[in-house]
Amino acid sequence: MLPLLAAVQLATLAGVALSTPTGADTAKRATCTVNSVSTSESLDDCSTVVIEAFTVDDGDTVTISAASGATITLTGDITFASTTADGPLLTIDTDDVTFNGGGFTIDGNGADYWDGQGTNGGVDKPHPFVKLKGYGTFEDFTVLNSPAQAISIGTSDTTVISSVTVDNSAGDVDDLGHNTDGFDLSASDVTIKSSTVKNQDDCLAINSGSTIVFEDNTCSGGHGISIGSIATGKTVSGVTISGNTVSDSLYGIRIKVDADASDASVSDVTYSGNTLSGIEEFGVLITQSYPDNDGTPGTTSTISDINFTGSKTSVAVESSGTNLVIDCGDCTGTWDFSELDISGGKTSVVDSDDATVSGGTY
């Protein structure tokens, strides 16, 4: 028979052994380092991922798919060589992720593709460049020189994107950059804030989704802030666009629904406290005749409850541009434009169908 003390010690050790984590549990707490395409694979059991500087060669793409709840941190730049691969070139696909870019850059080497035609022809351009899937927080990184569309958002739950820069300003040279959208969004429960976009197309394009906030962002050189274009079967609702600055852009604010769209809708959109200047063509354009700006609008989709309220949204349009165009085939509701102030530009054209537009200066 063992002495009493020895028996107690054995029992204690047995308890410790039973509570020791399994190998799988230990792996899920491991820190995984990514410094090449090969090390970016098989991250499912990694709850901490550190991405060091590396270059992605022609033909390769990268997907970062870590354990749910993972923290992913950039500690160096990711550079993509000219490639024949299709986009997206970089995908972050992790649920409940905390993605901290550390101020580093994801470089798409756009100048090797830009030819003024974007995705409409010319050189094949991988797009989108970066795809955000899963859900969580994404912050503090720069997407530089994307071949075409920069960041596509297809997240599946509540997501906050903050302090992100899309810099395609180099594409201004000889007007070679084209279709370089900053954020293309097809998701719900998304907030984009305190970010900067310098490009040659939409700063934000919302293609579908609900409960979307775009606030305190800066856009320049592109096509302003857009909802759409909205295609058949797509809906957008519950959007707040506030506190943003748009400068030196072709358009200011747009809602664009495809002329041939059916079973589609845009509803419950609020603009507040935005400042727009140097707008060349349309200060505010709400149209159901896309791709025409003001043509023959479709009648099998609906726009309703569009409001400029809260703080004043001011829009300064160049003398050759047009202040406000509403081009409706099927618009409804009472639209409160009391906090919209458009200056400069040509006389506005309002054909709002069954919607009643009240207030505002334009």
Q: What percent of the chain is predicted at pLDDT more than 90?
A: 91
- State the residue for tokens 């059916």: 262
What mean pLDDT is predicted for residues 273-294?
Answer: 98
pLDDT at 94 > cutoff 90? yes
Summary mean pLDDT of the chain: 93
Helices (H) and strands (E) in the chain, counts: 2, 28
pLDDT at 27 > cutoff 80? no
Residue environment code for 197-209, b if the CB has 16+ CB neighbours within 10 A, otherwise e: bbbbbbbbbbbbb
Query: Is the four-CA dihedral 315, 318, 323, 329 of positive or negative sign?
Result: negative
**Residue 28 — very low, low, confident or very high, per pLDDT cuts 50/70/90?**
low
Over the stretch 49-86, which tens digit does the pLDDT of each residue have? 999 999 999 999 999 999 999 999 999 999 999 999 99
Residue environment code for 268-286, b if the CB has 16+ CB neighbours within 10 A, otherwise e: bbbbbbbbbbbbbbbbbbb
Q: Give the up-direction half-sphere exposure of residue 39: CA atoms within 13 A in the CB hemisphere.
A: 14
For residues 10 and 81, which has the higher predicted lDDT (pLDDT)?
81
Asked whether the whole model's pTM tops 0.75, one would answer: yes
Angle, CA 256 vertex, CA 250 and CA 260 arms, to 5°: 135
The pLDDT score that the predictor gives to residue 30 is 86
For residues 188 and 5, which has the higher predicted lDDT (pLDDT)?
188
Q: Is 110 left (phi over 0), alpha (psi -120 to 50) or beta?
A: alpha
What mean pLDDT is predicted for residues 332-354?
Answer: 97
Give the chain's largest Cα–Cα span.
102
Domains of the chain: 23-201 (2.160.20.10), 207-362 (2.160.20.10)
- State the residue for tokens 């974007």: 118
pLDDT at 23 > cutoff 60? no
pLDDT at 292 > cutoff 60? yes
**Residue 29 — very low, low, confident or very high, per pLDDT cuts 50/70/90?**
low
Note whether 330 and 304 are within 8 A (CB): no
What mean pLDDT is predicted for residues 155-164?
Answer: 98
Over the stretch 306-329, which tens digit does the pLDDT of each residue have? 999 999 999 999 999 999 999 999
pLDDT at 5 > cutoff 50? no
Instruction: Provide the annotated active-site residues.
Output: 201, 223
Note whether 182 and 218 are within 8 A (CB): no
pLDDT at 19 > cutoff 80? no
**Residue 135 — very low, low, confident or very high, per pLDDT cuts 50/70/90?**
very high
pLDDT at 22 > cutoff 90? no
What mean pLDDT is predicted for residues 170-186?
Answer: 98
